[in-house]
A and B are shown apart, each in its own frame.
Chain A
Amino acid sequence: MVLILVIGDLHIPHRANDIPSEFKKLLLPGKIEQVFITGNLCSKEAFDYFKTLSADVCVVSGEFDEPKKYPENKVVTVADYKIGICHGHQVIPWGDKEALAILQRQLDVDVLITGHTHEFRAYEHNGKFFLNPGSATGAYTPLHTDVVPSFVLMDVQKANIGFYVYHLREGEVKVTRMFWSKK
């Protein structure tokens, strides 16, 4: 069992002050093996915070991160799964399922993780899984109003991947759960 934190679009300090304390309480060092950050951190302090949770932190570049600081995308193999990470502003049209599928084919991955839209999404398409953890800080985006802070914990096992989705609504953390396995 490998526990991976999937999180991103924090936009600290341009658009948000900090990760909500209700979330920070749940993120304890030592429990998380890897951290996948979809991008737009945007500060070194935010990066350092994730380093306290796990030594293995993987970041890809959002359009407001320092140019060339992080790669455009990354592919990580965990157990039997090839997992791709990319911020997603590079995929046009933004958030389009078919366009994201092009990226999935290009990276040749089973699971594609992207961000950018500040909206949680999880679905299967053509036998592959697509995940967007949303914005952990509920940061502003012109794309839509009422951004709900969210992040995802992935539990990668041989048989399947468990996704634990955390949303912060009106001061309360709500968790939902789903599973997926590749055929």
Chain B
Amino acid sequence: MNKLWVRMQHGMRDLDKREQEREELNILVGKNLSRLSQLEGLTIGLYKSDVLPRILSQIVTCKDRIAQQYLMVILIQAFSDEFHLRTLDQLLESIHKLQEDVDICSILMSLIERLANYCVSHMSSLPTDVDVFQMFLTNIDELGKSRKTVPLSAVLSLQNSLIILVCRCYKDKPSYIDDIYASCRLVIESRSTISPDDKQSIQQVTKLLQTPAEIAKSIKPLLGLKNFRSLMDALPNHHKRNIAQYLVSENQTCISNVEEVIVLLDYLAPITQRDSDVNDEEWHDYQQLVSYAISLMYNKDPELMVPILQKVKEHFLNQSATTVGHLYTLVPLTFKALSLVQAIFKKQNEDPNCEKRIKYVFKYANEVISLVKNTDIVAAYNLYLQCTLQAAQCGLAEFTTAFLNQSLTLFEDEKMTQSKQEYNGLRYMIGVVQRVSCLDNETFQSFAMRIAQLSSKLIVVELQSRATALSTYLFTNLPERKDPKLAMSCLKKAMSASSSVVEPDVLLHLYVDLFDHYVYFFANHPDVAVEAKHLNAIIVKINKLISINNIDKSHKGLLHYRNVMNLITEKQNWQTYIKKQQKKDSPQQEVIDESGLNEKEALAEASRWKEIQI
């Protein structure tokens, strides 16, 4: 039949008729082959020794491109994948002997795909006496070397189907992926390089690098490979960076040991050093990706986490290897360190080395922050305060003091002044220190007084007044170490500073805010000795300001004022203090305020408030 075919090729003149006859012959041959495959007596042994060799010899010897193409395809389709598995060596050998212009790639690709599917659907491993993978790889190598007319992208696409075979059928042999990468690298080199215009090849290499991660849904398989980097390096710069981006953003893999960290950092080299073709916006985005990469690095065992922290710090401080800005690396590292401290502290009862470990990590954090301060003083300042608070939570008075002192030193640095963030900074420090309970009274008080002093020295008077008012809360932070006198003195200072504010608009807001602070202490800390007379004096001041300056009714300060007055009115009503019913709305709703006083107490409290003249 084949001979008839070939003769037909040269005999017929009419193209259409020839095509039609070819089609019919095609079907005939196909039917015959498939009938052959269905023969009951056709065992694999018989197929291997008799049937296949004859078919193959026919195909090879006819030396006709179209016939060879069609027949190989039909052969592969007609016989079962199990048969192909057992005769792979013969098949591959013959495929090599096919004419130069036969599309070998598509034939090989269909074979590889079929076998991969077969393996997956039959859940069995490929026969161990036959190294299917090695056969295919050798074949593809041969192809790449001997058939120069085959485009690079076609060879690479073959490698892609092979990699899918490996990922699905040889899960326990990750070195096979490495072998594929090495082979790809070689074939690329044999064609000298990948041209930036060769989009197909670039796409194929990208796929090669990403497929193992995509199938495993994790980048871990890629981290154990020796040849990943060298294949990635074959890509043009822009595409190398895309791979690095993929590694970080397409997965939620947790990188949990130092070895993996080292490898990942190496793979991220395209985005940790700024290439010349990267603009500012892109560079920011790449640096941001590095921050994400760091956030993936985590191990809950402190013994394993500490080396990770050290390695990453080391890597990014090496200016010859990386140019990523410190803010993108050192800030996330600081928070990783603080989370680690918290995790270690949580297990303090089980861990005899708890304190030692925590101190080590705090020292690490301190080193890291000291490098941040050269780039961004406000960020470093905030980080020192975070450390202060964490150290306080761990009950480490010495470290709390040390970190707080670091913050204070930065606060008084000239760069802080230039940043115009002094009020915000001071306010943040007050918020932090207000929460600190591990210091002895003397140390705490000296810090509190220093902060109050710094507040009183702020240049903008309005801010001076506000910061001083907030400092008041430092002197009432713990019941056992209240200092009512100092608290009162802060309030008074805040009030007197406010008198230097000139703008009525600003002053109204300030007066009402201070008024509300006074009311807070009147309500919650009676020992601070805020009395009705103080409140009355403020009310007089506010009313005077309003009438003199003809403040508009809709002014927000007036709305606030009205709200405070309403509060006072309510507090003057003794019934406000009687125990309230719990609202029975939904089981999850938080309980409504239940400040319960008996009638006598309620009347006493209300009368205290009644002295305020609203």
Contact = CB atoms under 8 A, between A and B. Distances in A.
Interface of A: 11, 13-18, 21, 43, 45, 63-64, 67, 89-90, 92-94, 98-99, 102, 104-106, 108, 121-126, 140, 142-143, 145, 165, 176-179
B517 A177 contact: no
Q: Which 7 A-B pairs have the closest CB atoms?
A: A105-B563, A13-B291, A142-B389, A142-B390, A108-B559, A123-B590, A17-B295
B427 A92 contact: yes
28 contacts: A13-B292, A14-B331, A14-B335, A15-B332, A17-B252, A21-B252, A43-B288, A63-B382, A89-B431, A90-B427, A92-B427, A92-B470, A93-B431, A93-B434, A94-B435, A99-B520, A102-B520, A122-B589, A123-B592, A124-B593, A125-B593, A126-B567, A140-B339, A142-B338, A165-B588, A178-B588, A178-B589, A179-B586
A165 B430 CA distance: 31
A176 B585 CA distance: 13
Given A108-B556, A108-B559, A102 B517 contact: yes
Given A93-B473, A176-B588, A105 B516 contact: yes
Contacts of A63: 382, 424, 428
A112 to B, nearest CB: 12
B382 A64 contact: yes
B586 A105 contact: no
Nearest to B588: A176
B321 interface: no
B599 to A, nearest CB: 21
Contacts of B424: 63, 67
Given A92-B427, A122-B589, A142-B386, 19 more contacts: A14-B331, A16-B295, A21-B252, A43-B288, A45-B288, A63-B382, A90-B427, A92-B430, A93-B435, A99-B520, A102-B517, A104-B563, A106-B560, A124-B583, A126-B567, A143-B435, A145-B346, A165-B588, A177-B586
Interface string B379-397: 0001000100110110000
Contacts of A121: 590
Judged by DSSP, the binding face of B is: helix
Interface string B530-571: 000000000000000000000000001001100110010010
A121 B588 CA distance: 11
Nearest to B390: A142
B378 interface: yes
B516 A122 contact: no
A117 to B, nearest CB: 11
A13 B295 contact: yes
B513 A106 contact: yes
A152 B470 CA distance: 30
A17 B335 contact: no
A145 B291 contact: no
B597 to A, nearest CB: 16
A68 B427 CA distance: 16
Nearest to A21: B252
B337 to A, nearest CB: 10
Interface in B316-365: 331-332, 335, 338-339, 342, 346
Contacts of B216: none
B371 interface: no
Contacts of B392: 142
B147 to A, nearest CB: 46
Interface of B: 252, 288, 291-292, 294-296, 331-332, 335, 338-339, 342, 346, 378, 382, 386, 389-390, 392-393, 419, 421, 424, 427-428, 430-431, 434-435, 470, 473, 477, 512-513, 516-517, 520, 523-524, 556, 559-560, 563-564, 567, 570, 583, 585-586, 588-593
Nearest to A178: B589
Nearest to A146: B346
A164 B524 CA distance: 33
Nearest to A17: B295
B585 A178 contact: yes
Residue picked from A15, A98, A105, A165, most chain B C-beta under 10 Å: A105
B470 A179 contact: no
B588 A98 contact: no
A145 B342 contact: yes
Contacts of B335: 11, 14-15, 140
Residue picked from A99, A102, A108, A124, most chain B C-beta under 10 Å: A102
Contacts of A89: 428, 431
Contacts of A123: 590-592
A93 B477 contact: yes
Contacts of B419: 67
Contacts of B524: 98
A51 B564 CA distance: 37
B518 to A, nearest CB: 11
Nearest to B389: A142
A180 B346 CA distance: 37
A67 to B, nearest CB: 6
Nearest to B524: A98
A14 B426 CA distance: 23
Contact of B592 (A13, A16, A98, A124): A124
A17 B593 CA distance: 38
Contacts of B570: 126
A92 B469 CA distance: 10
A111 B586 CA distance: 19
Contacts of B589: 122, 178-179
Nearest to A101: B567
A17 to B, nearest CB: 4
Contacts of A99: 473, 520
B558 to A, nearest CB: 10
B567 to A, nearest CB: 7
Nearest to B435: A94
Given A99-B520, A124-B593, A13 B586 contact: no
Nearest to A121: B590
Nearest to B290: A13
Contacts of B591: 123
A14 B332 contact: yes
Contact of A105 (B567, B583, B590, B593): B567
Given A45-B288, A105-B564, A126-B567, A92 B389 contact: no
Contacts of B592: 123-124
A94 B434 contact: yes
Nearest to B593: A125
Residue picked from B390, B431, B477, B567, most chain A C-beta under 10 Å: B431
Contacts of B470: 92
Contacts of A94: 431, 434-435
A121 B563 CA distance: 23
B588 A92 contact: no
Given A13-B288, A13-B292, A102 B338 contact: no
Contacts of B593: 124-126
